[in-house]
Amino acid sequence: MSKKRKPSHGKLGGNLQDAHMRNVAGVKVRELNKPVELKVITKVPAKWMLKDLETDQTYIGTGKKKIGEQWREIGPKRHDWLQGRTKKQYSDSMMMVAFAALGLFVTMLVLTLIIQK
């Protein structure tokens, strides 16, 4: 008969014992008893973004080695730019396309009328 093995949690070890669930941004997540270190190993630090779902703060990698300087907080405008165009920017660009199309149509109409005379 085989023995039942305890589930292994790797390096977290006993950190999961007595951990409790909490709600962060509408999602249930496990809060550990002790902090853990999260590392990103990369040649392009600026392509990495760190988002705190609880406080809504957003950080971008800097490439610096000193603890506390490896991530730089970015504001909402920069975050929107990194994520793509905002709804207002998209709406504004669509209006510009519409006006350009209207201008082209009016120009074609005027040229057609001039040629017919």
Name the nearest CA neighbour of 38 among 58, 3, 12, 13.
12
Tell me what pLDDT residue 41 has.
92
What the block records as the tokens of 88 is: 């207002």
pLDDT single digits (tens) 84-106 = 556 676 677 778 888 888 989 99
User: Would you place residue 80 in the very low, low, confident or very high pLDDT band (cuts 50, 70, 90)?
Assistant: low
Average pLDDT, the chain: 79
- Percent of the chain exceeding pLDDT 90 equals 13
* Mean pLDDT value across residues 53-59: 85
Burial class (CB in 10 A: 0-12, 13-18, 19+), 26: exposed
Cα-Cα-Cα-Cα torsion 56, 59, 65, 67, nearest 10 degrees, comes to -20
User: Would you place residue 22 in the very low, low, confident or very high pLDDT band (cuts 50, 70, 90)?
Assistant: confident
To the question of pTM greater than 0.85 for the whole model, the response is: no
Domain ranges of the chain: 86-117
